A and B are shown apart, each in its own frame.
Chain A
């Protein structure tokens, strides 16, 4: 294996400073993404960060790398197109819970089912930030928001369990209050061959008055520190994914080596599509025409 030359996080310093509210959890995630890329020594030219729309989805603008700031809910689809076009690139999707688990949930599930080699970091603040505080798919039941003044009637989605049953091969949860730990998880996800989900508790200090930093600090514990926890055991992971209350697990829930989607594409065996010659061979063209006669 080639030795990794780590890069300092300054390499990824973006052109503008984040416009997030002071104290927003997304700052920790931004830092962790840069740290993870640095740890792996990924050059900015080889890193593509794709997002949808939301406060969290502004992240690509704050980091020096290639990026697409796409449509609300569509980042995972755009990312897969990029990955299939050039699988030498490190493709990381960053977005919010509304973006990924609401409007984009179909793409999310299908990307996991494909086990395509991308890394998805969801800044889960359990609220819609950018549109000023409506309920999101992960807002807890009975919580009052601008759009649920009588309390949220719907129970939240469980992204960890969903990922486990949908075929993701790297499933983790981090906390933006612990960027070092989070960076480890993200680096693990990028290094992992296959679909990696890193769901991140990333508090919205402006609109979510329930799931605050202290709320998480009181509850979270690390799976790595649990004696006997085995991240290759999917049933154990599933069991932990339902833990929600006084104790909430973070860390690596599950990891498994499985064939990735790219392996099934014959066209990709000759290297990234983007480097293939454009013209088909003349003999192939002639065969295509001959079939019509």
Chain B
């Protein structure tokens, strides 16, 4: 076996992150590849958190779509995820507190009950989160990872807490490991450990490190998930890296401060999510008008409004394109993977300064928050730094310095405040070559025409500089999957899976959204047999953009907007259905009915209830067919009642307690 996916389920506050992180770093130090994804909620305690750590010998580009080993930290997690564990896998749980109902298991899944209080007895009184450390130890044994490497990770993780804490953690993990060794047989994973050291890093960390490496000296933000971890990284490293990090009063201040800093000559960046970006839009147009370089990161989450604070989506394309009134030059880049986030940040600063315009980096929760191992050389020290044309002094005998001199390239050499002889006003009202306003008193239509053309002309050079997208995979494929931004990895994996099933597919990934290589893309698309646009939003915002730019309508769409990222199998199934000509239904599936029932239980019933048998009934009294979900007691397994869920609308029509049923 060459890869394993470990799922860790629990509530916020159960300490899943640390467990997942230790596991991931252990695998990474052994030279394996890791891709993790944390499906979490906007609560500090409670809720349901579902973290997956996928480990493999080859580069992984998504968190996949299966679970081999489940570590369940609470009863809810056993019930929700036990049935997902594939044959040959295992379920690790604290048998002092939790029960595993064997009917939830697929064939050949190993229950691994851990009597945590007995195992930890020799260590005296230990805090409840230590159950995770015991489970981690057992897991390492079951999946064949090296204990000493895990001990080195724990040592580094708890370094700041002192030797006693390190020793306790290592000893308890060891106890879990030994207990498993004594009572269970390993699951049969044999690995080749290369011990190649690779960074384990999230997209947001890659943005931040890329920015700092490129010379970013000013970062401003107002906290907003999923962009906040850029702020946290920047703040934690500000002193060492010599950056000014400013948490401002709102996003209006954030972007305007960054523009001020950019105007004054430092490389400045700010970051936010959709709602914050909405507030920034007027200022982004201002940066275009006064030709101030600034980098803005927009990390999308589910919208509209405050939407899904902790869930992913690619639904802000229209907003980012529509940001600010009027036409103005700007660059929009959507990096496709974590390594690309680093490179895109570097590139963004160079474009922003060379062309003196705002550069928007679009990401989303999936890309920004999931960690993965990347190749060490993806993070380079000696990145190119290009500042564009700067006027460092101006002798007025040359004539007056014109900040917005009309040039063929559209770029006018920039003078920073403090420069002798080049004083000028950067005006957000439209202005002439010197910066003098051309509205009101000095209205001059031809000057307006020429300066507008000057500004917009920069985009021609930008487009020439950006590499056009290319088709990856076989030229003569049956289907072409088109995606942008964070879907790059999952589409790639879906294509591999399709190939295994005899379907030849290729991939057109778009990274540079604006300016757009319309001619090149149109040429590629014209040669494709069947085009399918994959994007994480409801209305197909990218497909629409593609049509506007190339005149080409894609043949079909795969869309997702439930807040969870695409998984390879989801794309594979949809591609197959499209090829077969099956029509797509939006009906609530059985799995979804179960999730809806869980939601109903959480909001209306008590902890003891969980969904049991589910059957589909034809419409009887309700306007649509319904899912009839039996709700049973966790303790006794007895029926507590029935919940009727609409197949078409998802409405929770009716809750019928058991007393009334029989």
Contact = CB atoms under 8 A, between A and B. Distances in A.
| A and B interact physically | yes
Contact of A68 (B212, B379, B425, B441): B425
Contacts of B240: 284, 287
Contacts of B214: 278
Contacts of A83: 260
Contact of B426 (A68, A73, A106, A279): A68
A66 B435 CA distance: 11
B416 A274 contact: yes
B199 A292 contact: yes
B256 A81 contact: yes
B330 to A, nearest CB: 16
Interface in A36-94: 44-46, 48-50, 53, 58, 60-61, 64-71, 73-74, 77-86, 88-89
B282 interface: yes
A81 B426 contact: no
* Contact-residue size bin, chain B (C-beta under 8 Å from the other chain): 35 or more
Given A82-B263, A85-B261, A15 B242 contact: no
Nearest to A86: B264
Interface residues of chain A: helix, strand, loop or mixed (majority):
helix
Nearest to A88: B418
Contacts of A278: 214-215, 217, 267, 385
A266 interface: yes
Interface-central residue, B246, B426, B435, by most chain A CB under 10 Å: B426
Contacts of A289: 199, 209, 376, 379
A233 B200 CA distance: 56
Contacts of B437: 58, 61, 69
* Contact-residue size bin, chain A (C-beta under 8 Å from the other chain): 35 or more
Interface string A85-124: 1101100000000000000001101100000000000000
B582 to A, nearest CB: 44
A285 B209 CA distance: 8
A88 to B, nearest CB: 7
Contacts of B379: 289
A64 B436 CA distance: 12
Interface string B421-448: 1111111110000111100111000000
Interface in B169-185: none
Contacts of A58: 437
A84 B197 CA distance: 38
A46 B418 contact: yes
Nearest to B380: A285
B242 A48 contact: no
Interface stretch (B69-77, B247-255, B622-630): B247-255
A66 B239 contact: no
A289 B260 CA distance: 30
B286 interface: yes
Contacts of A86: 264-266, 416-418
B602 to A, nearest CB: 36
A5 interface: no
A68 B265 contact: no
A117 to B, nearest CB: 14
Nearest to A14: B425
Nearest to B254: A77
Nearest to B282: A71
Nearest to A60: B425
Contacts of B141: none
A85 B249 contact: no
Contacts of B426: 67-69
B250 A84 contact: no
Contacts of B290: 68, 70
Contacts of B381: 279, 282, 285-286
A33 to B, nearest CB: 14
B83 interface: no
B27 interface: no
Interface-central residue, B265, B376, B381, B418, by most chain A CB under 10 Å: B418
A209 interface: no
A288 interface: yes
B242 A267 contact: yes
A217 interface: no
Given A67-B424, A68-B263, A69-B426, A279 B29 contact: no
A260 to B, nearest CB: 14
A265 B265 contact: no
Contact of B213 (A45, A266, A276, A279): A279
Contacts of A65: 423
A287 B209 CA distance: 11
Interface string A2-32: 0000000000000110010000000000000
29 contacts: A48-B417, A50-B260, A61-B425, A61-B435, A67-B426, A68-B290, A68-B425, A68-B427, A70-B259, A71-B282, A74-B252, A78-B263, A80-B260, A81-B261, A84-B257, A85-B263, A85-B265, A89-B418, A107-B249, A110-B253, A267-B217, A270-B242, A273-B242, A274-B265, A278-B267, A285-B213, A292-B199, A292-B200, A292-B201
Interface of B: 25, 28-29, 197-201, 205, 209, 212-215, 217-218, 220, 237-244, 246, 248-250, 252-253, 256-268, 282-283, 286, 290, 376, 379, 381, 385, 416-429, 434-437, 440-442
Given A16-B436, A73-B252, 13 more contacts: A48-B264, A61-B435, A66-B418, A70-B256, A74-B283, A78-B260, A78-B263, A85-B264, A86-B416, A267-B238, A270-B242, A276-B217, A278-B217
